[in-house]
Amino acid sequence: MDGLGCSPTESCIEGIKGSRLVYSINTERGLPICLLGVANHPGLEDTGVVWTMSSNKVSRYPLAFVRAVRELLETACGLYSKIISYADNDNPKHKKFHEVLGMINTGETYTKQDLQVYAAYEYMTVKGLNKLYYNE
């Protein structure tokens, strides 16, 4: 674990601390199966980055997951001029999921240190549109 960086608990805490919004998806019994949020992008001003951490059980609740991410995006629309997310470039399902959410593929890619390539997606925000049209 030392070579991998943060433990899952540390990753969770850091993700939550750096976020303006955090949601959880719970089972009928109240057990959390997913945390998701929007964090400030460290290098881009007024930009949020969508993040999720989930167990494999979230696949049993696909509609709840989509609803939670959509609600998160709609709520974050007033907080950021731009919201971005990344999808595994080699996984068509990841890309399709972003499109279902209404995110637009920017054509940009991001390559991690392990050479995994991710496609960048952007979500149009109310705050971003206001800046564009009204110079607010």
Beta bridge partner(s), residue 19: 39
Q: Domain segments of the chain: what residues?
A: 2-134
User: pLDDT at position 121, please?
Assistant: 94
| Residue 5 banded pLDDT, cuts 50, 70, 90 | low
| Residue 2 banded pLDDT, cuts 50, 70, 90 | very low
Say whether domain 2-134 belongs to CATH 3.40.50.300. Answer: no
pLDDT in tens, 84-125: 999 999 999 989 999 999 999 999 998 987 788 999 999 988
**H helices present in 18-113, as ranges:** 62-76, 92-100
User: pLDDT at position 83, please?
Assistant: 93
> Contact 69/24 with Cβ under 8 angstroms?
no
User: pLDDT at position 136, please?
Assistant: 55
Distance of alpha carbon 118 from alpha carbon 65, whole angstroms:
21
Sequence-distant (≥ 6) Cβ neighbours of residue 99 within 8 angstroms: 105
Residue with tokens 């998160």: 72
User: pLDDT at position 9, please?
Assistant: 79
Beta bridge partner(s), residue 120: 86
pLDDT in tens, 22-76: 988 888 899 888 888 999 988 888 899 998 888 888 888 888 888 888 998 888 8
